[in-house]
């Protein structure tokens, strides 16, 4: 079974400094028909105005993945990432650029902030939340870069439960792949029985299992043996392999 969700059907919040589209129920947007897919709970497409950002706030028991499309996102947290001297202390500098993927395990509790320090350019990124396997784990942070060549015409694994193929390690029964598709480029992915697949088009246009999708559109696939992406037009796509809930 394949279910389509168009970009314009998502929840929308405009806060002046933040323009956010919610794929699933989030904050003041509530739709009981769209609470998530499997253990995937949040995909927010956020545009942060120059010189603005999210002040320090807390999270618990969630795997949070940030995927930057344009601009830069500066991250600081209570684990020391992004703090002055944090990199020298073996921590991450905490600035996320296009091609970078960040994973923060909130676990037993973490405080963090995210900010666009540029004065002349907005930051465009996807904020993704996935339910962890276990509650109360030690908070953690990881950041890696996946260049365009690694994603060109293929679905590059960027996050997985065991950090396979150089991907980020998420403490959840889920994996994420990212791909860039244009012209004749195409990719196929076998879908394991009993799993859910979720395809989110971050930008551009692409055909997924015969359906034409544009930026912000998404497909949920259940009991489908194969995923095929083709006929891309400057497309950037994320594909999630998820545990049913």
Does pLDDT of 92 surpass 70? no
Residue 141 sits in a domain of what CATH number? 2.60.120.10
**Would you state the torsion angle of the CA atoms of residues 178, 185, 69, 34, taken in this order, to the nearest 10 degrees?**
-60
What is the pLDDT, as a whole number, of residue 83? 60
Structure confidence at residue 245 (pLDDT): 80
Are 216 and 201 within 8 A, CB to CB?
yes
**Which residue do the tokens 């990212």 mark?**
178
Q: Between 128 and 92, where is the model more confident?
A: 128
56-83 pLDDT per residue, tens: 899 999 999 999 999 999 999 899 888 6
User: What single-letter DSSP state applies at residue 75?
Assistant: E
Structure tokens at 170: 């998420």
- pLDDT greater than 70 at residue 162: yes
pLDDT of residue 91: 53
Q: What are phi and psi of 214, to 5 degrees?
A: -120, 175
User: Exposure pattern of 216-231 as b/e (b: 16+ CB <10 Å)?
Assistant: bbbbbbbeeeebebbb
Q: DSSP 3-state assignment of 166?
A: helix
Angstrom distances, CA of residue 217 to CA of 7, 72, 113, 144: 5, 24, 28, 26
* pLDDT exceeds 60 at position 177: yes
Q: Between 245 and 56, where is the model more confident?
A: 56
Residue 227 has pLDDT above 60, yes or no: yes
Rounded to whole angstroms, the Cα distance separating 43 from 79 reads 24
Which residue's structure tokens are 């439960």?
Answer: 161
Condensed to tens digits (0 to 9), the pLDDT of residues 23-46 reads 999 999 999 999 999 999 999 999
Question: What is the model's pLDDT at position 87?
Answer: 45
Q: Are 200 and 178 in contact (CB under 8 A)?
A: no
Q: Is pLDDT above 50 for 85?
A: no
Residues 105/63, Cβ–Cβ less than 8 Å = yes
pTM of the model: 0.94
Average pLDDT of the chain to the nearest whole number: 94
What tokens were used for 37? Answer: 């897919």
**Mean pLDDT of the region 140-152:** 95
Of 47 and 80, more confident: 47
On the question of pLDDT at 107 being above 80, the answer is yes
Domain residues for the domain of 172 are: 2-242
Angle at CA of residue 107, ends 240 and 159, nearest 5°: 25
Residue 88 has pLDDT above 70, yes or no: no
- Total count of domains within the chain: 1
- Contacts of residue 186, defined as CB under 8 A and 6 or more positions apart, other chains included, come to 153, 228, 229, 230, 231
- Closest Cα to residue 43, out of 13, 66, 62? 66
**What span, in angstroms and rounded, lies between the C-alpha atoms of 245 and 242?**
9
């Amino acid at each position: 079974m394949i279910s389509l969700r168009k970009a314009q059907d998502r929840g929308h919040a405009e806060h002046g400094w933040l323009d956010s589209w919610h794929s699933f129920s989030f904050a003041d947007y509530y739709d009981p028909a769209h609470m998530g897919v499997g253990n995937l709970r949040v995909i927010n497409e956020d545009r942060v105005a120059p010189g603005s950002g999210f002040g320090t706030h807390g999270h618990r028991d969630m795997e949070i993945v940030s995927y930057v499309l344009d601009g830069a996102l500066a991250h600081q947290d209570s684990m020391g990432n992004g703090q002055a001297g944090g990199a020298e202390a073996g921590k991450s500098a905490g600035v996320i650029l296009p091609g970078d993927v960040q994973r923060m395990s909130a676990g037993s509790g973490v405080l963090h902030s995210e900010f666009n320090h540029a004065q002349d350019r907005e930051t465009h990124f996807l904020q993704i939340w996935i339910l962890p396997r276990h509650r109360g784990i030690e908070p953690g942070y990881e950041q890696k870069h996946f260049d365009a060549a690694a994603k060109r015409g293929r679905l590059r694994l960027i996050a997985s439960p065991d950090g396979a193929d150089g991907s980020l390690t998420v403490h959840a029964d889920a994996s994420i792949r990212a791909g860039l598709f244009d012209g004749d480029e195409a990719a196929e992915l076998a879908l394991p029985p009993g799993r859910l697949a979720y395809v989110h088009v971050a930008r551009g246009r692409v055909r997924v299992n015969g359906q034409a999708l544009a930026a912000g559109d998404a497909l949920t696939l259940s009991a489908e043996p194969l995923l095929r992406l083709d006929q891309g037009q400057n497309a950037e796509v994320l594909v999630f392999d998820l545990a049913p809930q």
